[in-house]
Structure 1
């Protein structure tokens, strides 16, 4: 019976297993496979295009069940003719207007296995075509079906995108009356990587070596530069409509890498980096591609300027906007110093009011961040809290932003598109731009395409986007255009020299030059004609953007550290023997702190804190370069004003002005030597005098600090032993001795005089009573018959115990002496 029961349980389990597996694997909205589209030909259907669309890529089984009988087909929705229709097509499922037959892909796909696929479908014809007979922008769906193990046939993966059709086969295009001015921003931004920037005597240290992969051929940043060079090189019609948005920190990191660097390992050790060659190759390609192009310097490390302004840190805003010189020097280009593309295209007060001091007169912002509708894209004049500062804002096209970055809200922050979807977002951007061009008013408002900050697009995907833009340009739908200038038509504001120190508490800025040709080869839109006023707008900083800002508490800690950096700069000067400016030392320290405020850490407070700790550690290491040397043993003070030996060593490449700080110690005073100059990479010995008021041992804590109070290096403890009295003790002792001598002398004098008077009294009583007064000179008669000795003041002495005990008080009777 037990055997039969066991068999029944096993059979029941096996019977239920398929049902259980099917239920567990068939979660709503869960894809069993990942579809990666790598090529769409043509990206824009226009004159001369083939009569079919070819879509190729690969399919990966991401589940834990084998899938059999994989098939694919391409379904088409109705054409979208308005921006609202485009938004719905990007966000929601679109009803299929055509349902062609499936074509086989592969027979079996095991878990984690990958298989290529290619689908060809005619543009027009019978039921197995897309049935496109007029121009428009069509939503397409790549539908992959299969049969998972233990389940029925179902859709296992899909991919959606827009296909612009500007001309059906055999027909000419029908462009709009006027082409839409279009600018594509190409962001060159990465996450902060550099723990410590190279300074004289110290090598560059990176937190990891992932940037070397991105800069190497096939990497993200390499692909961006390569695709632009191939599809929009010199002489390309797109050249005037591209604008590179470059993070100075990325350029500084790549430049440091090509000279050799070290990488921090998980265990804290350091290892040689492998990306020197990749960095050198990438920088060379970037220099070539950016020649004569529009280049916008982003804030250093793409720092959160809005958060810095809200924390009332204008000096750090200035530091963040101080990277234009570095880019110009490394890439040999002129930058648009007057343009700011804030994080997420949103800017708030009080940061906006501070920008006027830094030459920013053009802002790239989302329309909603200006209180405008999505269709208002013409430049406006921004009212700030500074009545004398009214920059021009060029709205970013939110329709194109949604196409290029579908995972983010219009003014929120989200990661870049998932790998494998780059080409689909490029297709969506081309479709959205085509709809925008068809529905433009007269004159057409400019469209600025703003991709995600850390745009993850393969070279082929970006080539597809640029190729499509070139076709739309040639057919009269778009016109590549540069960014507009500010209200005065000037090319750029001021920028400080890259080696300038961080401004802090009155530290004077070192302003750099300004070039009248900033911005490239004349591809910028002309300034507004004199007398023509732009419509006004007010900043409308979104709540969602504020919620993602770098935390105020972290920024206050950052400001405190930045004060130390500025204090070190103010306390340093160039040493002629080494010839290093203080800014060479302090600017990398400030930049290291700004990495903690990077937009990469929006929504990641722990990562921001980690980078702030890294910046603090680096700063502490530099401050420790000036310190009091360790003194072994004990110092014996032979005299009350003996000097003590103190040696201050400076390992930094600049002269540093310091003060010795000696902790108070009862019984010991140490001479204040004032401000001392310690030469670069040298040392000086000092002998401050001491003043002791007691004998014994002293433990004295000595440190060195800047004249403003920032401590440099560690506190050292000296052991002192004093065997000599101090001047105060000697004076006090001598005074007490003199007082005792004076008192003793006074008593002796008084007693001697008292004894003499007593002796004279005894002689007078033995003489005859008939003696006359004239026989005893110096005497006077006493009516009472008794002669008394008198004090010089004429008073009779008081006879008391003290006088009786004095010598001579009782002559001839030693028993009465006490």
Structure 2
């Protein structure tokens, strides 16, 4: 049986009023912006004759200055009201005007019409100063004394259940507009609008799945120094072929004394401050860790650095690990790289390295961490989406302003949509803009937000979504920016309210990675878009090329992984999104990273003479391969003559021990006389030079050997011929003839002496 609006509202218990103070002008609560502008205009008008300043006409007091009293709702109890429960509303009123209020009293008002959309909730909160605020509930509560300028008082309304006057049918549940009005006599001088949540029946209640995703990333040491005229050059424009126009930014040079193993003191000092009692990361952990239903997107590089940065960071990390137990934790790529900068430089290899480093570091937090990518800009461009689509983690968190539905419908758009790119589809996780804004900066949508009004607004927004008629349970996503510094009290109260709401189910954000995408038409992403603080393509390519060169060098070593340990982390550091806010600091980190990569591809050299003389058609050239490395290296020695008169045989492979020198012999052959410059390289298996290229001058004279041989042969032949001739011409000597006669046979009568 429904309860009609009670006519006994006047019988409600009178509100209790307690004066608080009449101190100096308050600063604890935010006053309307228009009132502040009006006061600034008045101050400038007074000071103008003294300092020569003329007040701007834009600072004139606006019409809203007619409400000089700030009204803050500090508690609505219970947050979700059921039939039979009494309602208690506590407020603080403060006179921010310059005139005393002679007869102030407070009135509690209730609108009994249920808002059906988020836009209607906005309309209630943003109503004009004199707009209707519903009907009064109970009697006005006189403050009992004038309210002087700067004075404040507390008012508590206790409304019996019978005086609420709302229907108790199941479909009547949901938000109602609730307002506290302060009047002086019959004139409204202040008002605060919030919401009452009415729940006649909690059975068969539709519910909303809500994922809250908070990025846990460090800020740059000098965060906040970026500007549109930063040290980065103006963004280059894309050419027809997809390449970027040349920029004037010089490629950073490596420092001469790299120290890759030494911590970077500014980053460690900054992290100690951020994790300290007043630090942003401390507040972030306290606020988001209060509810186990909140998901984290964690940068593994933050975990690694916090373990060594200092005692405050170590204590924060220990608390992080404890709070992470049983929580949905997603892992960002290592160092949370600027995906836009990588995409515009066409360096998917660096993103692959960041994802691999993140995967290796996930056990630092907890097992079963899910990878995800997060765009640096709220509205990324298609090139950034394509970069994400080309990885093994084809999911991308975008900002609340991206991929908005093209048409307004009666239902809230889903948090997952598919973006088609040249590299394939990517699942875009799209946050709800209203819920995200309420968590990030409540005053944008709920002026003068308190813990109570923020909680009631979030409950109202989720109730509206749960009320929507649809076939499936709605699922919405809320995110906050990377540099979010939460108001711990407000956020904790908001999360507690969401945890307790019967129609809200806090769900892991990782569930969205497997969720069916919303098929509604969305505003497309821009083709190319660059932010002022984005790292230039020239610098990104310098980092990527330096990394690739170091990797190629390590291929000649016995244990390349040991040699490359820590390289990717150094190269990825300056690619972090956080450095967008600190250009000067980023330049130092870039130089350090380049120096580290340069040091990792040094340690081998070729030692040889400056000149070589060759007088034969074939010969051997001896050189030495010297190593200052701490492990064995095997390289291929290749000589490249710059003229065809000298030819080199097969390139020999040489292995040099740590800190030693190895002699290498190269076979060469010459075909003609010439002077030729010869380049000498020590090469990795893929042909990359791994040592400083050497060169020498070769004087090649292979014909000297051939002519000498011919001359010697001719002289020997001539000597032999002369000897024969001289022997023939000399004849027999007397001695040689007598010896022949004595050897004749005696008594041979056949031979007679002529007469």
TM-score range, shorter chain: 0.5 to 0.7
Alignment counterpart, residue 402 of structure 1, candidates 431, 437, 447: 437
Structure 1 residues 103 and 673: alpha-carbon distance in aligned structure 2, compared to 1, 3 A threshold: farther
Cα distance in 2 for residues equivalent to 1:182 and 1:595: 33
Question: TM-score, normalised to structure 2's length?
Answer: 0.60
- What is the CA-CA distance between 1:307 and the residue it aligns to? 4.4
Q: Return closer, same or farther for 1:28/1:589 CA change in 2, 3 Å cut-off.
A: farther
Q: How far apart are the structure 2 equivalents of 1:290 and 1:422?
A: 33
Task: Note the C-alpha offset of 1:537.
Answer: 5.4
More moved, 179-188 vs 422-431: 422-431
Q: CA contact under 8 A between 1:75 and 1:96: conserved in structure 2?
A: no
Match of 1:674 in 2: 652
Q: Note closer, same or farther for the CA distance 1:342–1:547 as it changes in structure 2 (3 Å cut).
A: closer
Q: 1:451 to 1:162 in 2, by over 3 A?
A: farther
Question: 1:565: how far off?
Answer: 3.8
* Partner residue, 1:251: 303
Deviates more, 1:280-289 or 1:358-367: 358-367
**Residues 414-456 of structure 1: per-residue CA shift (max 9 Å, x gap):** xxxxxxx999698886465234224321346323221111222
Quick one: distance in 2 between partners of 1:161 and 1:728?
105
Give the equivalent residue in structure 2 for 1:523.
none
Count the aligned residue pairs: 581
Structure 1 residues 750-789: aligned runs within 5 Å: none
Candidates 480, 484, 492, aligned match of 1:451: 480
Q: Does 2:250 align with 1:222?
A: no
Please tell me whether the aligned partners of residues 213 and 509 of structure 2 are also in contact (alpha carbons under 8 angstroms).
no
Return the match for 1:627 from 586, 601, 604: 604
| Per-residue CA distance 1:733-755 (angstroms, 9 max, x = gap) | 41563598599999999xx9xxx
19 and 540 in structure 1: CA distance in 2 versus 1, 3 angstrom threshold: closer
- How many angstroms does 1:731 deviate by? 0.5
In the alignment, is the contact (CA less than 8 A) between 1:380 and 1:394 conserved in 2?
A: yes
Contact 1:183 1:448 in 2 (8 A): yes
Name 1:242's counterpart in structure 2. Answer: 294
How large is the RMSD of aligned CA atoms in angstroms?
Answer: 6.0
Alignment check: 8 A CA contact 2:623 2:664 kept: yes
Tell me the alpha carbon deviations over residues 295-319 of structure 1, each in whole angstroms, 9 at most, x when there is no partner. Answer: 1111222223344345443322322
Measured against aligned partners, the alpha-carbon deviations of 1:95-135 in whole angstroms (never above 9, x if no partner) come to 37799986666xxxxxxxxxxxx95542559xxxxxx9997
Q: How does 1:23-62 map to 2 (within 5 A)?
A: 24=53, 41-42=74-75, 46=79, 51-53=89-91
Deviations 1:484-511 (A, max 9, x none): 6468x5xxxxxxxxxxxxxxxxxxxxxx
Describe the SS at the equivalent of 1:479.
strand
Cα deviation, residue 224, structure 1: 1.9
Residue number in structure 2 paired with 1:589: 567
Per-residue Cα deviation, 1:503-547 (whole angstroms, up to 9, x for no partner): xxxxxxxxxxxxxxxxxxxxxxxx56xxxx852657822479544
Take 2:530 and 2:259, find their aligned partners in 1: how far apart are those partners? 40
Q: Is the 8 A contact 2:638 2:652 kept in 1?
A: no
In the TM superposition, what whole-angstrom CA distance separates every residue of 1:311-367 from its partner, at most 9, and x where no partner exists? Answer: 443322322323443442111232123x44333454554554565664435544457
The runs of 5 or more residues in structure 1 that have no matched partner are 1-15, 32-36, 60-67, 106-117, 126-131, 143-159, 233-238, 258-274, 411-420, 490-526, 575-581, 753-818
Q: Give me the TM-score of the superposition, normalised by structure 1.
A: 0.56
| Residue matched to 1:211 | 271
- Cα-to-partner distance string for 1:758-808 (whole Å, 9 max, x where unaligned): xxxxxxxxxxxxxxxxxxxxxxxxxxxxxxxxxxxxxxxxxxxxxxxxxxx
Contact 2:452 2:493 in 1 (8 A): no
Give the Å deviation of 1:242: 0.9
CA 1:675/1:482 → structure 2, altered by over 3 Å: closer, same or farther?
A: same
* Cα shift readout 1:247-289 (whole Å, capped 9, x = no counterpart): 122122223x2xxxxxxxxxxxxxxxxx422232122111111
Out of 413, 416, 439, the residue aligned to residue 377 of structure 1 is 413
Match of 1:308 among 335, 342, 354: 342
* Contact persistence 1:650–1:678 (CA under 8 A): no
State the Cα deviation string for residues 533-591 of structure 1 (Å, max 9, x = none).
852657822479544554444433343234324423544442xxxxxxx3454363233
In 1, Cα distance between equivalents of 2:596 and 2:624: 27
1:471 corresponding residue in structure 2: 497
Matches of 2:430 and 2:107, distance apart in 1: 35
Looking at structure 2, the residues matched to 656 and 478 of structure 1 have their Cα atoms a distance apart, in angstroms, of 62
Structure 1 position 202 matched with structure 2 position 230:
no
Gaps of 5+ in 2: 1-44, 61-69, 134-141, 159-163, 167-174, 183-189, 223-253, 727-755
CA contact (8 A) 2:443 2:449 kept: no
Partner secondary structure for residue 321 of structure 1? helix
SS in 1 for 2:53: helix
Q: Which has the higher contact order (CA 8 A, sep 6+)?
A: 2
